[in-house]
Amino acid sequence: MTTLTDRDLEKAPIASPVTMAGALNRALADALREDSSVLVFGEDVGTLGGVFRVTDGLAATFGEQRVFDTPLAEAGIVGTAIGMAMNGLRPVVEMQFDAFAYPAFEQVTSHLAKLRNRTKGRVALPIVIRIPYGGGIGGVEHHCDSSEAYYTHTAGLRVVTPGTPADAYALLRQAIECPDPVIFLEPKRRYWSKETTTLQHTAATLDRAVVRRPGSEVTLISYGGALGTALEAADAAAEEGRSVEVIDLRSLSPFDDETVAASVRRTGRAIVVHEASRFCGYGAEVAARLSEQCFYYLEAPILRVTGFDIPYPPPNLEEHHLPSIDRILDAIDRLQWQDSSGTVKADG
Amino acid sequence: MTTLTDRDLEKAPIASPVTMAGALNRALADALREDSSVLVFGEDVGTLGGVFRVTDGLAATFGEQRVFDTPLAEAGIVGTAIGMAMNGLRPVVEMQFDAFAYPAFEQVTSHLAKLRNRTKGRVALPIVIRIPYGGGIGGVEHHCDSSEAYYTHTAGLRVVTPGTPADAYALLRQAIECPDPVIFLEPKRRYWSKETTTLQHTAATLDRAVVRRPGSEVTLISYGGALGTALEAADAAAEEGRSVEVIDLRSLSPFDDETVAASVRRTGRAIVVHEASRFCGYGAEVAARLSEQCFYYLEAPILRVTGFDIPYPPPNLEEHHLPSIDRILDAIDRLQWQDSSGTVKADG
Amino acid sequence: MVTLAPAAPTSTNPQRFLPTETPLALLDAGGHVVADAGLVMPSDDILLALHRKIVLGRRFDSQATALTKQGRLAVYPSARGQEAGEIGAVVALRPQDWLFPTYRDSMAVVARGVDPVEVLALLRGDWHCGYDPYGYRVAPQCTPLATNALHAVGLAHAARIKGEDTVALVMLGDGATSEGDTHEALNFAAVWKSPVVFFVQNNGYAISVPLSKQSAAPSLAHKGVGYGMPSMLIDGNDPAAVYAAVAQAVAAAAAGEGPTLIEAITYRIEAHTNADDATRYRDRGEVESWLARDPLTRLRQHLTGRGLLDEAAIAALDAEAETEAAALRQRMNVDTVQDPAELFRYVYAEQTPALGQQQQELARELAESEDQ
Amino acid sequence: MVTLAPAAPTSTNPQRFLPTETPLALLDAGGHVVADAGLVMPSDDILLALHRKIVLGRRFDSQATALTKQGRLAVYPSARGQEAGEIGAVVALRPQDWLFPTYRDSMAVVARGVDPVEVLALLRGDWHCGYDPYGYRVAPQCTPLATNALHAVGLAHAARIKGEDTVALVMLGDGATSEGDTHEALNFAAVWKSPVVFFVQNNGYAISVPLSKQSAAPSLAHKGVGYGMPSMLIDGNDPAAVYAAVAQAVAAAAAGEGPTLIEAITYRIEAHTNADDATRYRDRGEVESWLARDPLTRLRQHLTGRGLLDEAAIAALDAEAETEAAALRQRMNVDTVQDPAELFRYVYAEQTPALGQQQQELARELAESEDQ
Ligand SMILES: Cc1ncc(C[n+]2csc(CCOP(=O)(O)OP(=O)(O)O)c2C)c(N)n1
Ligand SMILES: Cc1ncc(C[n+]2csc(CCOP(=O)(O)OP(=O)(O)O)c2C)c(N)n1
Ligand SMILES: [Mg+2]
Ligand SMILES: [Mg+2]
């Protein structure tokens, strides 16, 4: 079904400033153009172009058959996407906000994740569910959930979240081409952060983490909305003479053990940083598996800097909930550093 | 609203054999009798007495106003329970099987868990959602999910699972009296296991773990359906001269750090045993928090013996998925035991 | 306690559940009384009360929109144009009844008597719900669409079980009717014969999505028959009709006749929220045509025509509305300070040790950062 | 590709969406032709095909129940008594159409041509779905209620987008109509005018819960008008009526007229599954009264009455059914061995390293335990 047009030729690799929302929009446009089996649908994604404008202009360019608004029903969106994929299409659907994907939970968990396995590989569901997620934008309740752990615990789903515009483009392109269902979590507070880059289909690899910043003494493992904070914390730590490596997981499921474990074995110290609540949050898996894989290399317990175990706070209190640079620096300080006299500095 | 009848006096504390299903039935009956605000409803819980007969006879005894069948809609059941609780009742609702609670996920996550917090404590939701969960009964797909991690990651919910008939009774009584919403997970493969015991309201404490079997060299941390396997494994290990402590968590959220960390600090080795898939499963939290809390006491990494990261298998393959005695014993062997010469025995 | 046998399905006369084919109205766009309206005209006192609350409600609404421009509110979804529905439905409720509003229905919540500053706590970003639901019998404004419909049914069913004379009214948008929860709520209510009024404000859009992409039904009120529930289709810009329909449904519910589905045809004059750009999906002309059907103008013309209202009374009322708006502005123009400890206080009835620890961690952090 | 504008809502004549008040039938309980049935009587060939497939289907069904007693099946939900629906609907489908069955509909899946042993893989516990959905255009039998309705709509909508002449028929129970997914599916299909047939077998119970606790509607088919969808209420024990109604709905869908909702009134003669005890919630008398409305007897009386069928033909057919049942018994009477490696093979298109490792762990374990 792939039909290349000469508009592809326009994509000269000249670096230019692009936002994550813009990169995602480009990824959708390019996928729609290159593969006529790709469809984009959901609530307000057609005429309006999505409440975050990620689908801006797509309905006008590709027509109402390919980019369209559905009735307001999330189970309906995911359930019909499943049927469409069974019939050879590649739906890319949007859930308007994190908490509004919950009505689709049964369709995601009991069907989307399982149909390939159920049919011994006969029925593939190449579906991408795009979910703007996380906080940091002053949104009211139900608009700021970090819901990744619900999906990562569900076997059969891939869960991906980009941290930069370039990755957003490459990962979304690959997610759309992927024969597995992909939960594509878009950190909404990064939608408008710009990067000067060339958008390339091949730049990132769907299930591989990336070292965003090399370092030798501590590994910060992060993703999505918290990644920027982790990078800033690493910069701040560097000023205090601490060499911090920052890993952007990108693929939350499957987990890239190779890249991450290698880093943690090298540094001997690790902190997971994410916005979601701590208890049974994604960081628990990261800490548990690395504690097991890197047990003999660890100088200190793996710490988690995360949101608290509370419902997402109202806008005027969210700054306290979100992992901050200071909170990450504090955690780094608690990693059992020895001073020259050999005594442990932190109160641990 | 509490009305005690003289039938209470009949409850003489004479130990007698009781199944977990029977204990749960008694708990419901006693709660209905003692508190006229308690209601029991769901699919087939009335006339039929539930597909597992946990509500057997309750409709006949307490009438259709208090014990009744609803239309077949799980969001409807939880959503109306929320409204009833807002109006002073104490609904105890049943989701027929684990995977059939997913349609209610939005009501559970966005309302049940959050309404107290949303209203600064003004609106309490003393609701119990009973969910028969887990495998081991030869059930077909969607009837065997271990879905605890979805709930334990959700702040505002209590998540409880009994391992024995006596606990089933006491925990359900307390769950019904608890002012917080409680997800009450019933390990369906333990429904018919008998215990000779007296059912007492006060025996277990809703948020405390219990040491089911004392030991000094390894701590097995388990709950629900896998608990029995963990206990059998401990017995088998004892025959090989290994002293294994077994903790029954009972309350998955909140987590009883005190009891568990004390044990792990004492033994220096721990294994979490559960049926659910490993990746981002409940055991991840247990391993992560204990690795942090007990870092300096650990002789070996905390291991997880769990289901694989796959959809629940068909009946004829489920034995391979479920944690077995052998798999637990294997894990114990991998816990970096030193032989007398001081070298590590395991292949680690 | 009453006996609660589920309603037996009846195969007799499904027509009685059907709405009319055109919306019922008591007052036409010019404020003239419609003949044979099929609804009971409210008393003059009620009409005057509706007028008064609409004036105050509209002023509240425009003040709230203005507060977003001053950065005092994070966001505000205006109900301008929908005043007949917002006010008419609330005025028809009795004190013992409950209201289950959505994010759109701040005006209705204010009309029910909740302090506007408490109402706006949500949109100011201070807390998720700023008022005591029990104080006003108003549930927290609900964002996850259609979920509140089930809460209303549950509360009403509990009232019946307890023998209380309470009706629950739930507000829904046209978009929300597509959600599974709406279906389940209608069905539970019909089977249980719960005292519930489902009040759907069909304002033509769900954000940008027009009704034609939401439903192919003759009307949303035609859903009622599929549950065995009487349904009404009304002119949602006619305050008298809204009041009359809701009052009738409340009375039926209170009399044990079960739930009613009401679809009120109306229009959202402003964008979905101040953050939305409605020009992307609808013409100015469409908005103009609905301005000509303004609920306040209509009611005012009727009342002045009948001599129940004069320029002086209107001027006095407008002045009162301005005073209230000014007071609101002033009260909203202070910087509020939220105590971060509140984050940990209401998650459970009793704080868990882990939450206590997290609260302390945060307190320590804040103390440290103050030290610096 | 065709243009897919959503159907404009029409306010004209909602009556055309309503079902009849009594179920349409072509043959009465005695097998006599009903006058002015409002349905087209199928050809004699079709009637004979229905008869044949019902005999074979019923024998398959009773064989499957017998296999549970022998421990060869974990569980089996019988469709005995519902043969008119199970078979009539499937025979009305064209080869290019799709069937979306539930756990109850093994008989329908077999009638569609799927090898019964492959069908029973699920209930034997070998694998979740034993057949290739694409080989037969039959989706896996669906357990989570009503979820399959959305899949059917999606598949049908995709067919329209691709310009394929494919209709999707989804089977639902009366209980499943209460789920939100049914509502969403009906609505999406109506708005999109998707070529879907919603075939609801109202067998009076959802496990133990009778229809009166499930719905207060005049009929479940009365839900159609609330979506702008034509609806039919039919006698679900009349194979001719089921065939005629479904064939008509399939033809309409194929002609671009959109979806139809069909409610077929029938009865489940056996318990919910072999594990269920139906005496707990219904009288033997009720079952007896439905036995008197048996779909096979009815069709057979009609065919023999018209001389289209005689004792010899019936005996031959019964013998054929016995042979098939014996073959099935034999094929099911072997112990199957599942390869545990399969558990890890189909979770993702390409196995992840972590799953590869888990597969190896299990293999090592199994090898060790064999060693012992
Ligand atoms: C379950 C859910 N899905 C999506 C949203 C996002 N959302 C908020 S308002 C809205 C449109 C609602 O339209 P309608 O029900 O007609 O109400 P109106 O805004 O017109 O009053 C949407 C899609 C939500 N709040 N909840
Ligand atoms: C979402 C969901 N909830 C609950 C169940 C458990 N369950 C299986 S069959 C059944 C009754 C279904 O009744 P109906 O739809 O009338 O179909 P029938 O069994 O009569 O064919 C129930 C409650 C389920 N399979 N899926
Ligand atoms: Mg609307
Ligand atoms: Mg049924």
- Give the rounded distance of the alpha carbon of D200 from its chain centre: 9
CA distance linking residue C113 with residue C116, whole number of Å? 8
Q: What is the DSSP string of A203-234?
A: SS-TT--EEEE--SSEEEEE-GGGHHHHHHHH
Tell me how close the Cα of D229 comes to any Cα of chain B, in angstroms. Answer: 23
Catalytic residue among D112, D222, D272, D302: D272
Q: Which residues of D touch B310 (CB under 8 A)?
A: 343-344, 347, 355, 358
Q: What is the pTM of this model?
A: 0.96
Q: Where are the alpha helices (DSSP H) in B129-164?
A: 148-152
Tell me how close the Cα of D64 comes to any Cα of chain B, in angstroms. Answer: 16
Domain edges within chain B? 15-197, 210-333
Indicate if C104 belongs to the active site.
Answer: no
Q: Is residue D174 lining ligand 2, measured as CB closer than 6 Å? A: yes
Which is more confident, D146 or B2?
D146
Domain edges within chain C? 14-338, 340-372
> Which two tokens mark C334?
């202070």
H or E element that contains D198? strand D196-202
- Which distant-in-sequence residues (6+ apart) come within 8 Å of D350 by Cβ? none
> Three-state DSSP class for A69?
strand
- The whole-number average pLDDT for the span B109-122 is 98
CB atoms within 10 A of CB C164: 15
Closest-CA residue of A relative to C348 is: A310
CB contact under 8 A, A279 and B149: no
Query: For all residues of chain D together, what is the average pLDDT?
Result: 95
The answer to whether the beta carbons of residues C101 and C142 sit under 8 Å apart is yes
CA distance linking residue A53 with residue A30, whole number of Å? 16
Q: For atom 12 of ligand 1, which residue has the closest CA?
A: C206
* pLDDT above 50 (res D68): yes
Q: What is the pLDDT of residue A203?
A: 76
- To the question of domain D14-338 being in CATH 3.40.50.970, the answer is yes
Q: Is C108 on the interface with B (CB under 8 A)?
A: no
> Counting ligands in written order, which one lies closest to the CA of residue C149?
1
Q: Which CATH class is domain B15-197?
A: alpha beta
Q: Which residues of B touch D348 (CB under 8 A)?
A: none
CB contact under 8 A, D209 and B43: yes
Q: Which residues of D touch C9 (CB under 8 A)?
A: 211-212, 215-219
What tens digit of pLDDT does each residue of C126-183 get?
999 999 999 999 999 999 999 999 999 999 999 999 999 999 999 999 999 999 999 9
Its sign, for the CA torsion C326, C330, C333, C338, is: negative
Tell me how close the Cα of C112 comes to any Cα of chain B, in angstroms. Answer: 18
Q: What is the pLDDT of residue A336?
A: 87
- Quick one: CATH architecture of B210-333? 3-Layer(aba) Sandwich (3.40)
Q: What is the pLDDT of residue C202?
A: 98
Residues 198-217 of C with CB under 8 A from D: 211-217
What tens digit of pLDDT does each residue of D243-268 get?
999 999 999 999 999 999 999 999 99
Q: Which residues of B touch D371 (CB under 8 A)?
A: none
Closest ligand 2 atom to Cα of B44: 23
Q: Is residue B70 lining ligand 2, measured as CB closer than 6 Å? A: no
Q: Which residues of D touch B72 (CB under 8 A)?
A: 145, 175-176, 178-179, 206, 209, 214
CB contact under 8 A, A72 and C214: yes
- Measure A323 CA to ligand 4 centroid, in angstroms: 51
- Measure D229 CA to ligand 3 centroid, in angstroms: 22
Q: Which residues pair with A93 in a beta bridge?
A: A41, A129
Q: Is residue D207 lining ligand 2, measured as CB closer than 6 Å? A: yes
* pLDDT above 70 (res C274): yes
Q: Is residue D149 lining ligand 2, measured as CB closer than 6 Å? A: no
Q: What is the pLDDT of residue B339?
A: 56
Q: Is D225 on the interface with B (CB under 8 A)?
A: no
CB contact under 8 A, D185 and A111: no
> Counting ligands in written order, which one lies closest to the CA of residue B99?
2
Task: Give the pLDDT band of residue C325 (cuts 50, 70, 90).
Answer: very high
CB contact under 8 A, B280 and A310: no
H or E element that contains C173? strand C168-173
Q: What is the pLDDT of residue C129?
A: 98
> Counting ligands in written order, which one lies closest to the CA of residue D105?
2
Q: What is the pLDDT of residue B12?
A: 52
Best probe residue, ligand 1, of C123, C128, C145 (max atoms within 8 Å of C-beta): C145
Q: Is residue D214 lining ligand 2, measured as CB closer than 6 Å? A: no
Tell me how close the Cα of D223 comes to any Cα of chain C, in angstroms. Answer: 4
Q: List, chain by chain if needed, residues with CB within 6 Å of any ligand 1 atom.
A: A 43, 72, 96, 100, 103; C 104, 143-145, 173-176, 203, 205-207, 268, 272
Q: For atom 21 of ligand 2, which residue has the closest CA?
A: D173
- Measure C206 CA to ligand 1 centroid, in angstroms: 6
Please report how the helices C239-254 and C44-69 are oriented relative to each other, as an axis angle in degrees rounded to 10.
110
What tens digit of pLDDT does each residue of B161-196 get?
999 999 999 999 999 999 999 999 999 999 999 999
Closest ligand 2 atom to Cα of D203: 20
| Closest listed residue to residue B191, CA positions, set B53, B3, B26 | B53
* pLDDT above 70 (res B132): yes
Residue with tokens 């055991």: B283
Chains in touch with B (3+ beta-carbon pairs under 8 Å) read A, C, D
Tell me how close the Cα of B195 comes to any Cα of chain C, in angstroms. Answer: 32
Q: Which residues of D touch C260 (CB under 8 A)?
A: none
> Counting ligands in written order, which one lies closest to the CA of residue D275?
2
CA distance linking residue D7 with residue C364, whole number of Å? 60
Tell me how close the Cα of B326 comes to any Cα of chain D, in angstroms. Answer: 8
CA distance linking residue C238 with residue C260, whole number of Å? 19
CB contact under 8 A, A287 and B291: yes
Q: What is the pLDDT of residue B3?
A: 40
Q: For residue A75, give the DSSP letter.
A: H
Best probe residue, ligand 1, of C207, C269, C273 (max atoms within 8 Å of C-beta): C207
The answer to whether the beta carbons of residues A182 and A158 sit under 8 Å apart is yes
Q: Which of A83-92, B105-114, C5-14, C266-275 has the lowest mean pLDDT?
A: C5-14
CB contact under 8 A, A292 and B310: no
Q: CA neighbours within 13 Å on the CB side: how many for A34?
A: 14
Q: Which residues pair with B39 in a beta bridge?
A: B91
| Closest listed residue to residue C262, CA positions, set C218, C196, C215, C197 | C197
- Measure B293 CA to ligand 2 centroid, in angstroms: 46
CB contact under 8 A, A73 and C74: no
Task: Give the pLDDT band of residue B329 (cuts 50, 70, 90).
Answer: very high
> Which two tokens mark C355?
């939450």
CA distance linking residue C191 with residue D266, whole number of Å? 21
Q: Is residue D203 lining ligand 2, measured as CB closer than 6 Å? A: yes
* pLDDT above 90 (res D67): yes
Q: What is the pLDDT of residue B13?
A: 64
Catalytic residue among C51, C268, C298, C300: C268
Closest-CA residue of C relative to A100 is: C144
| HEC string for chain D | CCCCCCCCCCCCCHHHHCCCCCCECCECCCCCECCCCCCCCCCHHHHHHHHHHHHHHHHHHHHHHHHHHCCCCCCCCCCCCCHHHHHHHHHCCCCCCEEECEHHHHHHHHHCCCCHHHHCHHHHCCCCCCCCHHHHCECCCECCCCHHHHHHHHHHHHHHHHCCCCCEEEEEECHHHHCHHHHHHHHHHHHHCCCEEEEEEECCEECCEEHHHHCCCCCHHHHHHHHCCCEEEEECCCHHHHHHHHHHHHHHHHCCCCCEEEEEECCCCCCCCCCCCHHHCCCHHHHHHHHCCCHHHHHHHHHHHCCCCCHHHHHHHHHHHHHHHHHHHHHHCCCCCCCHHHHHCCCCCCCCHHHHHHHHHHHHHHHHHHHC
- The whole-number average pLDDT for the span D338-365 is 97
Residue D340 phi/psi, 5-degree rounding, is: -60, -25
Q: Which residues of B touch A284 (CB under 8 A)?
A: 280, 284-285, 287-289
Q: Is D58 on the interface with A (CB under 8 A)?
A: no
Q: Is D231 on the interface with C (CB under 8 A)?
A: no
Each residue's pLDDT, cut to its tens digit, for chain A (348 residues) gives 334 344 444 455 688 999 999 999 999 999 999 999 999 999 999 999 999 999 999 999 999 999 999 999 999 999 999 999 999 999 999 999 999 999 999 999 999 999 999 999 999 999 999 999 999 999 999 999 999 999 999 999 999 999 999 999 999 999 999 999 999 999 999 999 999 999 999 877 899 999 999 999 999 999 999 999 999 999 999 999 999 999 999 999 999 999 999 999 999 999 999 999 999 999 999 999 999 999 999 999 999 999 999 999 999 999 999 999 999 999 999 998 975 444 444 433
Q: What's the angle, vertex CA A31, arms to CA A28 and CA A34, rounded to 5?
A: 150
CA distance linking residue D182 with residue D184, whole number of Å? 5
Q: Which residues of B touch D144 (CB under 8 A)?
A: 99-100, 102-103, 142
Chains in touch with D (3+ beta-carbon pairs under 8 Å) read A, B, C
